[in-house]
Chain A
Amino acid sequence: MRNVKQKVLIYSLSLVIIIVCVFPFYWAVVSSLKSGTDLFKVEFIPGNPAWRNYLEIFKEQPFGRNIFNSVVVAVGTVSLALFLAVTASYALGRVAFRGRTALLVTILAVSMFPQVAVLSGMFELIRAMGLYNNLLGLILSYMIITLPFTVWIMTTFMKQLPKEIEEAAIIDGANTWEICTKIFLPLLWPALVTTGLLAFIAAWNEFLFALTFTIEEKARTVPVAIALMTGASEYELPWGKIMAASVVVTLPLITLVLIFQRRIVSGLTAGAVKG
């Protein structure tokens, strides 16, 4: 009897959690299929789905361009951040030098600054470099924000790799670059996927910098574009279209996470048990 009770409890609690997590997204999907006054009716499955919301977001503004921008910025940020993080973590994790711990703590401290605190400074930097209203400016600023986190995580993973493997490679005649790329990188693959995906999501969702550092519609990324969508009059918020856009930009993330799901899990537990 106790067993059955326990199972019922576990499953009903899981159900509650799933509903709380999934319902907002479900509601977004439902709302994206409504237009006009339908929005104010409570319907769990829309009677006549308004697919045109999905078409209109691409017609009335350069939303395709915005998605492309987001992809460029996110991919650029991730590749740049991972490259720098791997090279930095090799130094921080495997080379003994004076002030290494101090440097690591500084990096951690930097990642705790709120974005708003660095916003004005970053704005000046971006302008001075002539990257205002330019995707490169966004890539640079996102990279600065994600780098401390990425470096910190990669350093932890790098430290866990056994020293003998590195020494064996040294004796085999590999130089530092070859050790990094041919020995460490394949072993760090799960960690790379995990940190890379987190950095990707952060860059994909970022709003404040994207709003501040761009002016034209063509240069905007998805979160800004969605926030600045307008309806027919200034008194109408086009919820249907906003929801449709949100669904469109969430799908790539979900796909990515599903593809790399197993990698993430193994990345989060790698090194926990000697294997």
Chain B
Amino acid sequence: MAKVIFKDVKKSFGKVEVIHNANLEIEDNEFTVFVGPSGCGKSTMLRLLSGLEDVTSGQIFIGDQDVTKLQPAKRKIAMVFQSYALYPHMTVYENIAFGLRITKYRKDEIHRRVMHAAEILQLNHLLDRQPKQLSGGQRQRVAIGRAIIRDPHVFLFDEPLSNLDASLRVQMRMQIAKLKEELKTTMIYVTHDQTEAMTLADKIVVLKDGNIEQVGKPLELYHHPRNKFVASFIGSPKMNFIEARISKIVGEEVTLDLPHDKNIVLPVSLPQGIKLEAGNTVDIGIRPEHITICDPKKALFTGDVQMVEHLGSEILAYVKIGWGQQVLVRLNGESIVKIGDHLTLCVEPNDCHLFDPKSELSFERHSKR
């Protein structure tokens, strides 16, 4: 129900600056995911927005209101914590009702709202239990119920699924996706798991070392990563990076030399402000799912299989391709591959990304996707 804006936000703990000048706009009703490796500042961003931490400089807006100096409780936000943070001595009902009791709501109004939240989260039969009698998934639902009942303008989720086991995580992920449809509220979700980010988000914000690396829709990040970090972080298994030498640059086409005297022509243009010429090295980025086994005549890479991982639905093969490099190939689960096999591999030029090794910026691709 509200826009969120970070304007020139900086945060330091002592002398260490952990958020460097963050500027970010989150639209009304948007499900935004902050994603990044641990220590990237994604939780700090959330805590700054919640008011649990004060900004060192800059401003934060929720709706039209400047909330930079406002108490957490007055920001019309609700937060779900990684450790659930339920009050251990209260029943589920009291846990959910606590926020309203504190703000002196009428009893029947509290009861109505608790029942409504319990209905949404299927907690009706658990209202008399204490947190210690609940499973992890149930506890997380109570924590979400405690957030729903406050009718917030912005929902904040701080790694809500990382304490759950794998199967429960998938289940809760679906429940959160459903919640997003039902509540139609601005939601901000922090995670280090790119799968959660890809499946839930309308918009992903990738952070690294306190900088916002890229903001965009999930598929935008997948197809057009701005730099090498985003490219390797989004997508699983990770993108392969292969060193290659530029043999010539003609207009918006770059020709590259590959191991075993192969070469490839890519329809890309240099990132702004970057100068490269023939003889320079660049990194080609290719996702494991875009590499296929093909006719030896058309092959771009050839090499021996070093290791194979059978995952049932798919097979991951590590292939040594010359120049001391290795690529990961994702193959159909029915393929027959074993260690020592010689593979001939193909990639569509449209599926290749190019990165300047110094700035790690990506080359602009002129492809349909």
Contacts and interface: CB of A to CB of B under 8 A. Distances in A.
Interface of A: 162, 164-165, 167-174, 178, 182-183, 186-187, 275
A164 B85 contact: yes
Contact of A168 (B77, B79, B89): B79
B85 A162 contact: yes
Contacts of B73: 170-174
B72 A170 contact: yes
B89 A162 contact: no
Contacts of A165: 85-88
Contact of A172 (B82, B83, B89, B102): B102
Given A170-B52, A172-B73, A172-B146, A183 B87 contact: yes
Contacts of B216: none
A171 B102 CA distance: 11
A171 B77 contact: yes
Interface string B62-102: 00000000001100011101111111110000000011001
Contacts of B85: 162, 164-165, 167-168
Contacts of A173: 73, 99, 102-103
B52 A172 contact: no
Nearest to A173: B73
B81 A167 contact: yes
A254 B342 CA distance: 83
B150 interface: yes
Given A164-B85, A168-B146, A275 B132 contact: yes
B50 A171 contact: yes
Interface of B: 50, 52, 72-73, 77-79, 81-89, 98-99, 102-103, 132, 146, 150
Contacts of B79: 167-168, 171
Nearest to B75: A171
A174 B83 contact: no
A169 B89 CA distance: 13
5 tightest A-B contacts by CB?
A173-B73, A164-B85, A172-B99, A168-B85, A186-B89
Nearest to A189: B89
Contacts, number: 55
Contacts of B84: 164
Given A170-B72, A173-B103, A186-B89, 14 more contacts: A164-B83, A165-B87, A165-B88, A167-B81, A168-B86, A168-B146, A169-B87, A171-B50, A171-B73, A171-B77, A171-B99, A172-B98, A172-B150, A182-B102
Most buried by B among A167, A170, A171: A171
A111 B89 CA distance: 33
Contacts of B81: 164, 167-168
Contacts of A172: 73, 98-99, 102, 146, 150
Given A164-B81, A168-B81, A275-B132, A174 B102 contact: yes
Contacts of A167: 52, 79, 81, 85
18 contacts: A162-B85, A164-B83, A164-B84, A164-B85, A165-B86, A167-B81, A167-B85, A168-B79, A168-B86, A171-B50, A171-B52, A171-B99, A172-B99, A172-B146, A173-B103, A174-B73, A174-B102, A275-B132
A182 B98 CA distance: 10
A165 B87 CA distance: 7
Contacts of B52: 167, 170-171
A186 B90 CA distance: 9
A182 B90 CA distance: 10
A98 to B, nearest CB: 13
A171 B87 contact: no
A164 B103 CA distance: 20
A23 B78 CA distance: 62
Contacts of A169: 87, 98
A187 B50 contact: no
A168 B85 CA distance: 7
Contacts of B102: 172-174, 178, 182
Nearest to B80: A168
A275 B131 CA distance: 11
A217 B37 CA distance: 73
